[in-house]
């Protein structure tokens, strides 16, 4: 990249050091944006395809399997279709806001990818205030949604936009407080710093360090689902009630942008929870250095897929909460519990300092507890399968 920028500077004969720095900076930014777009857009598309397949298998049907082998280029076909559709803007709609809204949503989501570390040196910008920046940039999404709801000049879209506003703004608080417990414990707001404060083994992950952080993980996951308008919190885009809520009047690529943002947001939920709570890209020490970056990347992608799968699973199992129930869950349950988590973590840190025996023993106990819960879950699943007596098709490539 640097030689290319150097040749550019020589061509235009730029000697001013400030300007040179500007060219370097702009060049790097453009390059990073292109690389990131090259990851985010296909990732969103692939996640949309995976979601449809998983949803279908959960509903005892097959899902898209025609376009390409096993339907793997379905998302390309959908994207092309959206590009080719007529771009319809209702006459009475507020044209400027109508056009801006999808971009704001997209920027809010895309900006969050900047701080997500895919490896020990694979991060666009390891900001010192990484987690704080994350919370801030994702708030742009709510601005975009309200704009979309208002600009559509449609009462149902307005309702969807209002609901979205209330929901996203409310659920910022539990999400932020859960991340606050992490920041307290790790001592830094930078995402790479949080990952480096963990290790590769489960008992070093932040999730298992103390019960308050364990609870924080689930609260963060729930609040992130609500931020991303995923069921059970998908009232703003409730299909059977509002057609598509704030999306109703959008068609073609603008519509696709909203959904791109939603699927990419799904990845962010998985990625942030994996990075911050589950050790991120930390590898065991025995991996050779040549392979290290790729291995870290794959491990991180794998861990974030767990979060993505959980979100998809939850979406296709649960009904949606009503607006007042959703607000009640946030304000009456999640926020007091997250405050308790913050205080509890602080108290824990005072009485059981890191590095000493009681704290490490506690983390082993937490891991054992989590493993026990997983075992209970597996047993329950097997009991369900036995009782329903139905043929089970585990082959995903039906």
Which parts of this chain interact with other proteins (CB under 8 A)?
Answer: 55, 58-61, 155-156, 159, 231-232, 234-235, 238-241, 243, 316-325, 384, 387-390
Contacts of 140 (CB under 8 A, 6+ apart): 104, 105, 107, 108, 111
Residue nearer to other proteins on the CB measure, 322 or 379 = 322
| Nearer residue to other proteins within complex by CB, 11 or 386 | 386
CB atoms within 10 A of CB 312: 21
Question: Whole-number minimum distance, CB 53 to other proteins, in Å?
Answer: 14
How buried is 305 (Cβ within 10 angstroms: 0-12 exposed, 13-18 middle, 19+ buried)? middle
Question: Of 81, 71, 14, 50, which is closest to residue 266 (Cα–Cα)?
Answer: 50
> Nearer to other proteins by C-beta: 87 or 241?
241
CB 297 within 8 A of CB 304: no
**Based on CB atoms, which residue is closest to other proteins, 11 or 61?**
61
**What minimum distance in Å lies between the beta carbon of 383 and other proteins?**
10
> Could you tell me the smallest distance in angstroms from the CB atom of residue 251 to other proteins?
17
Q: What's the angle, vertex CA 279, arms to CA 278 and CA 281, rounded to 5?
A: 125
Report, in Å, the least distance between residue 59 CB and other proteins.
4
Least distance from other proteins to the Cβ atom of residue 237, Å: 11
CB of residue 170 to other proteins, shortest distance in Å: 15
Measured CA to CA, the distance from residue 147 to residue 163 in angstroms comes to: 12
Nearest residue (CB) to other proteins, 318 versus 372: 318
Q: What angle do CA 294, 296, 298 make, to 5 degrees?
A: 70
Q: Based on CB atoms, which residue is closest to other proteins, 139 or 325?
A: 325
Q: Is 192 within 8 Å of 126 (Cβ atoms)?
A: yes
């Amino acid at each position: 990249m640097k030689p290319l920028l150097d040749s550019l500077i020589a061509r235009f004969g730029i000697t001013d050091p400030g300007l040179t720095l500007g060219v370097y900076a702009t060049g790097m930014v453009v390059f990073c944006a292109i690389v990131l777009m090259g990851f985010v857009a296909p990732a969103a598309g692939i996640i949309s395809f995976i979601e449809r397949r998983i949803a279908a298998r959960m509903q005892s049907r097959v899902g898209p399997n025609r376009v390409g082998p096993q339907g793997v280029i379905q998302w390309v076909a959908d994207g092309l279709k959206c590009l080719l559709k007529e771009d319809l803007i209702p006459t009475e709609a507020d044209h400027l806001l109508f056009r801006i809204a999808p971009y704001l949503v997209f920027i809010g989501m895309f900006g969050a990818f900047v701080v997500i570390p895919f490896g020990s040196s694979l991060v666009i910008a390891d900001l010192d205030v990484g987690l704080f920046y994350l919370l801030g940039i994702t708030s742009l999404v709510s601005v975009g949604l309200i704009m979309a709801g208002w600009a559509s000049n449609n009462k149902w879209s307005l309702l969807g936009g209002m609901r979205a506003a209330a929901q996203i703004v409310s659920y910022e608080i539990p999400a932020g407080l859960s991340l606050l417990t992490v920041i307290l414990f790790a001592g830094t707001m930078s995402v790479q710093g949080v990952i480096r404060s963990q290790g590769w083994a489960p008992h070093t992950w932040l999730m298992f360090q103390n019960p308050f952080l364990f609870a924080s993980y689930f609260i963060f996951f729930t609040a992130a689902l609500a931020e991303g308008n995923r069921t059970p919190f998908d009232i703003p885009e409730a299909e059977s009630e509002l057609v598509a809520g704030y999306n109703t009047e959008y068609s073609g690529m603008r519509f696709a942008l909203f959904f791109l943002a939603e699927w990419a947001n799904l990845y962010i939920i998985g990625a942030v929870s994996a990075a911050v709570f589950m050790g991120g890209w930390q590898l065991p020490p025995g991996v050779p250095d040549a392979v290290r970056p790729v291995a870290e990347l794959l491990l991180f992608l794998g861990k974030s897929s767990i979060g993505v799968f959980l979100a998809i699973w939850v979406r296709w199992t649960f009904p949606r909460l009503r607006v007042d129930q959703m607000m009640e869950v946030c304000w009456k349950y999640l926020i007091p519990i997250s405050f308790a988590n913050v205080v509890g973590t602080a108290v824990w840190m005072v009485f059981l300092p890191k590095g000493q025996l009681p704290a490490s023993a506690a983390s082993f106990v937490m891991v054992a507890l989590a493993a026990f819960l997983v075992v209970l879950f597996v047993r329950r699943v097997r009991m369900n399968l036995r009782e329903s007596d139905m043929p089970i098709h585990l082959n995903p490539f039906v």
